[in-house]
Amino acid sequence: MTTLDQPALGEPGGYAPEPDLGTPPVASQADATVTIDGRQVTVPAGTSVMRAAAVAGIDVPKLCATDSLKAFGSCRMCLVEVDGARGTPASCTTPCADGMVVSTQTEQVQRLRRNVMELYLSDHPADCQGCARGSCEMQAMAVTVGAVEARYGNGRDHLAESSYDASNPYFDYDPAACIVCSRCVRACGEVQGTFALTVEGRGFDSRITPGGTDFLSSECVSCGACVQACPTSALQEKSLIELGMPTRVVDTTCAYCGVGCSFRAEVQGTGEDTQVVRMMPAKTGGANEGHSCVKGRFAYGYTNHPDRQLHPMVRDSIDDEWRVVSWEEAVAKAADGFSAIQRDHGVGAIGGISSSRCTNEEVYVVQKMVRAAFGNNNVDTCARVCHSPTGYGLNQTFGTSAGTQDFKSVEQADVVLLIGANPTDAHPVFASRLKRRLRQGAQIVVADPRRIDLVHGPHVEAAAHLPVLPGSNVAFVNAMAHTVVTEGLHDEAFLRERCENVDSYLAFIARPENSPEATEEVTGIPAEQLRAAARLYAEAPNAAIYYGLGVTEHSQGSTMVMGMANLAMITGNIGREGVGVNPLRGQNNVQGSCDMGSFPHELPGYRHISRPEVRAIYEDLWGRTLDPEPGLRIPNMFDSALAGTFRGLYVQGEDIAQSDPNTQHVEAALRSMDLVVVQDLFLNETARFAHVFLPGTSFLEKDGTFTNAERRINRVRPALPPRQGKDEWQITCDIAAAMGFPMPYAGAHEIMDEIAATTPTFAGVSFARLDAEGSMQWPVTDAAPHGTPTMHVGEFVRGKGNLVETVYVPTTERTNRRFPLVLTTGRILSQYNVGAQTRRTANQTWHPEDILEIHPADAHVRGISTGDLVELSSRVGSTTLRAEVSERMPAGVVYTTFHHPVTGANVVTTENSDWATNCPEYKVTAVEVGVANARGLTDAEAAARDEREPAGRS
């Protein structure tokens, strides 16, 4: 545990907002040196006088400027005098020219500022004290410029009668305090890219409105950028209104998605009494640069939800009641139980599952416990069920199991090919970056069965939407590559210099069966449309591929990943900024949990368990002999459990009973085990089958690191001590110790030191270095001491890029007369994965239940209308949920999310999986949909009662 009562690193104690330099940085080769109030400062040419002044340590008063937004020049607070220039220009909109001499505090500008401020104050609630939220820049500015009284009649605000809007669950809008600086309007457009706010009316009557309605029913996605940008308390977090100003700041990392945004946890109190006042995205955060989404900024309430478990519990059988026990007793029961199983059923009869939501350090000790204390390799991670094909595919082709770029790279992309991903919902902060790039003129091709928001929306119009039929991705990507090669658009020089298997691949892909015309029927994409998209991609100066679970969760997920890698290689779109092949990872630490050796066949750093020299590193350090053979994967564990050979499981922070496919099979497997140990925040679905429950910690209590989809290692720092009294890595170490294998660490930093000492790609990583650098992207080595934003520059990690012949083999999951529709699954913005966290926050407001989207034609023939309760059935099971008739889906395809256990969407998904990695095929299930009332189900209660009834196999 680090010392909590000391200020967090980088904070000299007490609360201060992040510095605001007024206008955004300017990238420029040339420099300009200017003199401001007698101080010389050198900045990139084109930098505003305001920013240059701030850099020189001089704060020019401002209201309409903030450094996340383009200068606007409307408030006239920032006036300065420039030698030799007439008048008093606004410093936010005046660029620095070399040799300029600026005065920011002449009497004239001070008087002007005071006048302006008094004008503002005359139309602003007089009662600063009564408002007193403490975060008002306006109040501070008034004091600075010495305008304490309004000479123009005091503080009767003409907007006072306008309605106070408290509709959003996380922030309020009080028009009376608004000064119409339009920072919020610009933040919503420029930063978030939603454009939900506007100035209504004109002149003195103008006011800010979310489109003439209230926030909740508007287009607002509740990202909070406007609240962050607001200089007054007009837009204010409800939590701050309730709790008052924070007193200290802890720099940490969001625990929701693979974007991995950096946050300042702004808190009050110390130790156990710490309260989070608000989460403020950090401008210094490499992944997010000061932006966030509704989940990261607002949805942290689950961390002290009443459902949170704070005590270890045990029971003898899953039909018994839980019994609260001491940590010692719970740990002993787990350890003794595991040892007993091994005695009776062999060393291989137990295993562990690590979580992509836990820190690298917590994951590392799980695999260490399994390999060293359990003495087998039966360790797997929930990443199995989402991105394992990414690891396999990119490793085969490029030599690393990770994406090639940082997020910032998209700012250099000219064409983006987005496949099987829905970033505006699943990776919102990346989506905001992408949308900004699109507004600058880049083009996007969306290959996804659903008409997602990036196909068409405010200031977004895709060059093409290719609704590739579920299951036909490989045929699609091959047709793209076929077009490129047969039309001579490939980069011959790149291929010859950087790749291998070139001739055989070119011959393969040129075969007629891979042509757009030949694949048209399976992909559902007209050949001409596909050819146009391929040309666009191939001819762009920089073309980048981004993809999500719509690629990986297929029986050919690994093949598809290799197919995309091929496409990037043949067009030379790899090894520089603006290009690459980039997975959008689901959970926050999917990348990290894979890096940490969570797969049964790999030690940390993706080194195969069969390599004696790698095993030797760990054997020497740990003093145990490691099993050289791969262990069981999650699906194999379940199969073996049903066969009686696998009887004990340790599950860290994962709800496998809800998130894994074919729920019935998983539940039967769990039920058949002698000992299931669950470590989680909540009594989740899996805990229904557990014998030992070990309460976990939320990210606000963790000390460690997360690695995001850019390979960026970010620090997670505790804002408060573990609420249940123990760090999660410590729990794991205690079990290992009780089984006779002590794993002593003085703190999480020592675990990272061990990772760095044993894993070449992490060689230069330590908490101290991370604290100094902010974050680093692995590999961090002697050759790249600050990390590696772009990979495969000049040479692939494996040497030559490997072109793999990606033959299209259709899935065995087929539609038929009984199940004529294809079900595909996804997620939505306000909810996260199985929803254990988000369901326990006000994010429920937006997505209280899972919805089945169905095309109007399919709905019509079945007599379904929006709002109907429908039964969704596949050959393995059925569930009931509400339908929404939607043109977003192509005919023949239905769509749902899987955030709510009551729906159990995975009750109907099958156990089909990726051929190479066993990643389940969530994205293709043959189903039928019918109005549920027909079977006498009339309301949601009935649905909840019946939801798990399995249908007989056919």
Give me 342's structure tokens.
């091994």
Q: Measured from the CB atom, is 593 or 698 closer to another protein?
A: 593
Query: Cβ distance 270 to 5 under 8 Å?
Result: yes
Task: Report the C-alpha dihedral over residues 664, 668, 670, 671, rounded to 10 degrees.
Answer: 130
| 194, 303, 478, 886: which one binds ligand SF4 (CB under 6 A) | 194
Q: CA 251 → CA 189, 283, 702, 718, distances in Å? A: 27, 11, 12, 9
Which of another protein, ligand SF4, ligand FES, none lies near 76, with the C-beta cut-off 5 to 8 A by kind? ligand FES
| 4, 53, 56, 78: which one binds ligand FES (CB under 6 A) | 78
Distance CA 297, CA 281 (A): 7
Which of ligand SF4, another protein, ligand FES, none lies near 743, with the C-beta cut-off 5 to 8 A by kind? none
| 288, 589, 724, 766: which one binds ligand SF4 (CB under 6 A) | 288
Binding mask 362-381 for another protein (x = CB under 8 A): ---------------xx---
Phi, psi of 129 (to 5 degrees): -60, -45
Q: CA 735 → CA 305, 337, 352, 739, 747, distances in Å? A: 27, 11, 12, 6, 17
Number of residues that bind ligand SF4 (CB under 6 A): 27
Q: Measured from the CB atom, is 75 or 446 closer to ligand FES?
A: 75
Establish if 579 lies at the interface with ligand SF4 (CB under 6 A): no
- Positive or negative torsion for Cα 338, 340, 346, 347: positive
Give me 577's structure tokens.
């900024």
Long-range contacts of residues 160-168, Cβ cutoff 8 Å, at least 24 apart: 160/125, 162/207, 165/214, 165/215, 166/238, 167/214, 167/215, 167/216, 167/217, 168/215, 168/216, 168/220, 168/222
| 110, 198, 529, 933: which one binds another protein (CB under 8 A) | 198
Q: Tell me whether the omega of the peptide bond preceding residue 583 falls within 30 degrees of 0, making it cis.
A: no
Distance CA 864, CA 240 (A): 45
Which of ligand SF4, another protein, ligand FES, none lies near 62, with the C-beta cut-off 5 to 8 A by kind? ligand FES
State which residue has the least CB distance to ligand SF4.
296
Q: In terms of Cα–Cα distance, which of 289, 293, 292 is closest to 67? A: 289
Establish if 395 lies at the interface with another protein (CB under 8 A): no
Establish if 687 lies at the interface with ligand FES (CB under 6 A): no
Establish if 549 lies at the interface with ligand SF4 (CB under 6 A): no
Distance CA 413, CA 404 (A): 13
The residues pairing with 43 across neighbouring beta strands, listed in sequence order, are 32
Report which residue type is found at 208.
I
CB of 847 to another protein, least distance (A): 8
Binding mask 289-318 for ligand SF4 (x = CB under 6 A): ---xx-xx----------------------
Q: In terms of Cα–Cα distance, which of 85, 99, 32, 89 is closest to 60? A: 89
Establish if 102 lies at the interface with ligand FES (CB under 6 A): no
Distance CA 446, CA 466 (A): 6
- Positive or negative torsion for Cα 520, 525, 530, 532: positive
Q: Measured from the CB atom, is 515 or 837 closer to ligand SF4?
A: 837
Query: Cβ distance 157 to 148 under 8 Å?
Result: no
Binding mask 246-285 for ligand SF4 (x = CB under 6 A): --------x-xx-xxx------------------------
Establish if 188 lies at the interface with ligand SF4 (CB under 6 A): yes
Establish if 217 lies at the interface with another protein (CB under 8 A): yes
Distance CA 910, CA 953 (A): 11
Report which residue type is found at 605.
G
Q: Measured from the CB atom, is 118 or 251 closer to ligand FES?
A: 118
- Tracing tokens 């039964």 back to the chain, one arrives at 871
Contacts of 528 by beta carbon, 8 Å cutoff, 6+ apart: 516
Q: Is 76 helix (H, G, I), strand (E, B) or coil?
A: coil
Q: Measured from the CB atom, is 95 or 583 closer to ligand SF4?
A: 583
| 36, 82, 221, 681: which one binds ligand SF4 (CB under 6 A) | 221
Which of ligand SF4, ligand FES, another protein, none lies near 307, with the C-beta cut-off 5 to 8 A by kind? none
CB atoms within 10 A of CB 541: 11
Query: Cβ distance 286 to 775 under 8 Å?
Result: yes
Establish if 211 lies at the interface with another protein (CB under 8 A): yes
Distance CA 802, CA 502 (A): 8
Establish if 548 lies at the interface with ligand SF4 (CB under 6 A): no
Which of ligand SF4, another protein, ligand FES, none lies near 559, with the C-beta cut-off 5 to 8 A by kind? another protein
Q: Measured from the CB atom, is 73 or 810 closer to another protein?
A: 810
Distance CA 464, CA 146 (A): 56
CA Rg, the chain, in Å?
A: 29
391-420 residues in contact with ligand FES (CB under 6 A) are: none
CB of 937 to another protein, least distance (A): 26
Establish if 186 lies at the interface with ligand FES (CB under 6 A): no
Distance CA 369, CA 361 (A): 12
Establish if 199 lies at the interface with another protein (CB under 8 A): yes
Query: Cβ distance 912 to 813 under 8 Å?
Result: yes
Which of ligand SF4, ligand FES, another protein, none lies near 288, with the C-beta cut-off 5 to 8 A by kind? ligand SF4
Q: Measured from the CB atom, is 147 or 538 closer to ligand FES?
A: 147
Distance CA 545, CA 578 (A): 10
CB of 74 to ligand FES, least distance (A): 6
Phi, psi of 838 (to 5 degrees): -65, -30
Which of ligand FES, another protein, ligand SF4, none lies near 323, with the C-beta cut-off 5 to 8 A by kind? none
Binding mask 200-219 for ligand SF4 (x = CB under 6 A): ----------x---------
Number of residues that bind ligand FES (CB under 6 A): 12
CB of 492 to ligand SF4, least distance (A): 39
819-858 residues in contact with another protein (CB under 8 A) are: 829-830, 846
CB of 75 to ligand FES, least distance (A): 3
Which of ligand SF4, another protein, ligand FES, none lies near 608, with the C-beta cut-off 5 to 8 A by kind? another protein
Q: Measured from the CB atom, is 209 or 707 closer to another protein?
A: 209
CB of 915 to another protein, least distance (A): 4
117-156 residues in contact with another protein (CB under 8 A) are: none
CB of 240 to ligand FES, least distance (A): 24
Query: Cβ distance 405 to 546 under 8 Å?
Result: no
Q: In terms of Cα–Cα distance, which of 651, 645, 745, 739 is closest to 689? A: 651
Establish if 90 lies at the interface with ligand FES (CB under 6 A): yes
Q: Choose the binding region for another protein from 193-201, 519-527, 545-553, 696-704 (rule: CB under 8 A).
A: 193-201
Distance CA 488, CA 363 (A): 47
Query: Cβ distance 230 to 17 under 8 Å?
Result: no
- Tracing tokens 């999310």 back to the chain, one arrives at 897
12-71 residues in contact with ligand FES (CB under 6 A) are: 62-65
| 687, 885, 916, 929: which one binds another protein (CB under 8 A) | 916
Task: Write down how long the chain is.
Answer: 954
The C-alpha angle 330, 689, 847, rounded to 5 degrees, equals 110
Binding positions for another protein, rule: CB under 8 A: 194-202, 209-213, 217-222, 348, 377-378, 456-461, 555-556, 559, 600-601, 608, 610, 629-633, 636, 640, 645, 805, 807, 809, 829-830, 846, 913, 915-918
- Contact residues toward ligand FES (CB under 6 A) are 62-65, 73-78, 90, 92
Residues of the shown chain interacting with ligand SF4 in the complex, contacts defined by CB under 6 A: 187-188, 192, 194, 196-197, 210, 220-226, 254, 256-257, 259-261, 288, 292-293, 295-296, 428-429
